[in-house]
Structure formats: structure tokens, C-alpha cells
A and B are shown apart, each in its own frame.
Chain A
């Protein structure tokens, strides 16, 4: 079946370095993608989203890249900080219809001081 998945389950980076978290999706009908951050003991928190008519979107210290050709999504975090340590999920759903938002398994990012 179709799924949203991540390439790596864990990522460890040095404070101040850039982080790249990858995600593969297989549903070619997906047209809206979101990255969420989940800290221990908390619910997922929205980071950034991108629609399928875009290939790049930037936020504060974060950039999401979408490659529809290979069905790949990535989250780049610039100047990673200890507060960025968390599990990051990519999720996909249809435009304006989030009644089946599908999440990947997550990547745990650890930032070393």
C-alpha cells in the first residue's frame, strides 16, 4: 500500500551545524505536505508546510524542499540548536482535506553541544 516513510530513524548533529531530515512518499496523488516536530511528552507541533505546486519554501531557520519527480521531501534546519532536539515527522494529505493526514515513522534528531 501507499505510505509515507523516512530514510533514517536517527540523526545526530553538532550544535551550530545544519541538519537535513529526509522523507519519501509513494502516493503520487499527495499534494500537501507538512513537517511536524514532537518533543518528549508533547503533541506534534507544526513547523512548515508546502503544496505540490512548489518545490521550496522557507521559514525561520527551516527550509522544506519537495522533489515530485522522485517523491522526496526534506527538511533543512540551519544552525541547529539544542532546542531542536526532537522527533520530526513528515505528513501528507490532500489539499484542503486533512481528514486523513498520514504520518511517517519519524526521525529522532539529537543535537550535541
Chain B
């Protein structure tokens, strides 16, 4: 186990709704990255938070937003949900000061948009 926990594990929403996904990073890790994984595809980078600031963003629209808290836990918010937002959302924590790019992933939150 990686020590990264995500909630909820599964959820169903309808188009136009908003969703908040949560992630607790591994102890000692100050960086959280969020990925979207569509069925049968590799994870796609959404954004990363380092010390409560956004530290890089992938090709996702502004309706994807996030937060990181002082305890390094994080939230991913998606507004105006679309059918294509249905995917597994993965959170990964890391600590760049360790000089390794290894990401420690949680088991994900599976979002279904109807």
C-alpha cells in the first residue's frame, strides 16, 4: 500500500453537476498530482500542487480546479460535468526533495457522468 487515500471510491453524477474528489497524501509528501484515466488508456496529467500552490497543469479546461491544504491533502473540483469526464481520477503524492520522480498513487475515484 502507498499510504495515499482517496474518497469517494465511486460516484455517479449527472451532466452539469459539480464534483469534489479528495486525497490524503503519504506521510511526509508535500506534492500532490492529479491524473485522469479514461477506460483503456494511460493516466493523463491534470495538475500538480506543491506547498499549496499549483505547480504545473496539463491540457484540461479551467472547470478542473484544485486545492492543497496545509497538511498537504488535496481536492480536485470539476464544474459543469460532461459525459466525457467519466473516468478514474487518480491522486499521487511525492516529495521532490528526495530526488526521485516516483509517484505514489491512490486507488482512485471512479466518476460516472450520466
Q: Using a CB–CB distance below 8 Å, which chain A residues touch chain B?
A: 4, 32, 34, 41-46, 49, 89, 91, 93, 95-106
Contacts and interface: CB of A to CB of B under 8 A. Distances in A.
A103 B42 contact: yes
Given A44-B43, A96-B96, A100-B58, 12 more contacts: A34-B103, A43-B90, A43-B105, A43-B106, A46-B102, A49-B102, A95-B101, A96-B99, A97-B101, A98-B101, A103-B42, A103-B43
Contact of A106 (B41, B100, B103): B41
Given A43-B108, A105-B42, A106-B42, A99 B56 contact: yes
Interface residues of B, number: 30
B40 to A, nearest CB: 8
B105 A45 contact: yes
Contact of A34 (B4, B48, B101): B101
Nearest to B102: A46
